[in-house]
Amino acid sequence: MTRTFSLAGLLRLRRIREDQAAGSLAAANARVRENAERTARVRSSLDENGTVVSNTAALHAVSTARASSRSMLAELNALAVLRQSAADESAAEFAAARSQSVRIEKLELRHGERVAQQDLHAEQIVLDEIASRSWFQAKGEATA
């Protein structure tokens, strides 16, 4: 068995893909949070708008502003759905990339365990040989 892990290059590639997927997921989640904050600001501006209306022109202006804000809120809600969908897709891509990395990481771990086992076996053979020689030398000195 070779001392180096033969799939090390593939493992590096999978980890790079996993890192890219994690970056995409983080960016998608940031866009979702940004959209939620913007929606919250628009909602609070709709709730806080306590304008006193003194004539019909002002009433018409307030009505138009509220309609515009509601339209913007509807667009933000639609955008939130799209961004959440993109975030879900990014999460699925990250999970797939992580799954592929984990498989190869497990193979690397098993390889390392086998190499360590071979090293211990080789060391035990050397120790047995040393013990055997010293026993035969001690037996030879005792009979002489």
Q: Is the predicted pLDDT of residue 49 greater than 70, yes or no?
A: no
CA atoms within 13 A on the CB side of 73: 14
Mean pLDDT of the chain: 91
Which CATH number applies to 8-143: 1.10.287, 1.10.3470, 3.30.420, 3.40.630? 1.10.287
Would you state the pLDDT for residue 105? Answer: 96
Domains of the chain by residue range: 8-143
CA atoms within 13 A on the CB side of 120: 6
Which tokens go with 42?
Answer: 């628009």
Residues 79-134: tens digit of each pLDDT? 999 999 999 999 999 999 999 999 999 999 999 999 999 999 999 999 999 999 98
- 97 touches 14 (CB < 8 A): yes
